[in-house]
Amino acid sequence: MAPVIGYWRPRGLLHPIRMLLVHTGVDFEDKVYPETSRDEWLKDKESLGLPMPNLPYYIDGDCKLTQSLAIIRYLARKHGLAGTNEEELIRTDLVECQVQDLRLALIKLGYHEYSEEAREKYLKETLANHLKLLSGYLGDHPWVAGNKMTYVDFLLHDTLDWHLFLDPTCLDGYQNLKDFLARFESQPNIKAFMESEKFLKWPIFGPMSKWGYDDAGSKLRFPD
């Protein structure tokens, strides 16, 4: 039986995991819980045999995982998308943590603080600082680890893509990050998936988010 990934409908924390599976060509099933009600998820929550029940989850026979980073690290080891030497491991660990800080910053802005003023401040201070660091560290390398694509590229891609919804011009001045996005999106399975009807561009966050559900902030990159 194909592995199952379970999550709410929005991209949220699941997206990099789904894209990694797509890239590897593994068959998988999406179990989508409607984000408008917790009932369906609560029915499954204690009955799936997850040691730490949460969303997203990944179930493949006896392998039952939650925690988005634990899932993607597991899949990276399984599919040859983890660092393989100390230099690659240091680079991927460092960027994974930096990207996680940036993801959490946008989650905080989106869910708790969103206003036009907060957005402006976030773009000028928080995001500008992170992009400078990430762009500088990536340098001329094609991938975060150096020459090898790893799971952290999926996290970085997703996080940069989130921010293009917040400000479609935010990567202007960071040509290596733009090239990185293009490189990632031109991987054959990823490209085909992104062009298919299965690919969900939006929404990124759930309906409790202030960003995306009540004003024009949601419509910056993909107006529909």
Amino acid at 95: V
C-alpha 211: how far from chain center? 17
28 vs 111, beta carbon nearer ligand GSH: 111
17 vs 138, beta carbon nearer ligand GSH: 17
- The footprint of ligand GSH on residues 15-34 (CB under 6 A) is none
- Shortest distance (Å) from residue 200 CB to ligand GSH: 15
45 vs 79, beta carbon nearer ligand GSH: 45
What mask of x and - would describe binding to ligand GSH in positions 37 to 66, judged by CB under 6 A? --------x--------xxx----------
Of 5, 6, 11, 13, which lies in the binding site for ligand GSH, with binding defined by CB under 6 A?
13
Residue 100 interacts with ligand GSH (CB under 6 A): yes or no: no
- Shortest distance (Å) from residue 14 CB to ligand GSH: 8
> For residues 198 and 10, what is the distance between their CA atoms, to the nearest angstrom?
13
> For residues 121 and 210, what is the distance between their CA atoms, to the nearest angstrom?
16
- The footprint of ligand GSH on residues 163-202 (CB under 6 A) is none
Q: Indicate the residue whose CB is closest to ligand GSH.
A: 68
Helices 175-185/151-166 angle, 10° precision: 120
On whether the CB atoms of residues 37 and 43 are closer than 8 A, the answer is no
Q: What share of the chain is helix, strand, coil (3-state, %, to 5)?
A: 50, 10, 40
- The footprint of ligand GSH on residues 59-98 (CB under 6 A) is 67-69
- Alpha-helical (H) ranges within the chain are 15-24, 39-45, 68-78, 86-108, 116-121, 128-138, 151-166, 175-185, 188-194
- Shortest distance (Å) from residue 158 CB to ligand GSH: 13
Binding site for ligand GSH (CB under 6 A): 12-13, 45, 54-56, 67-69
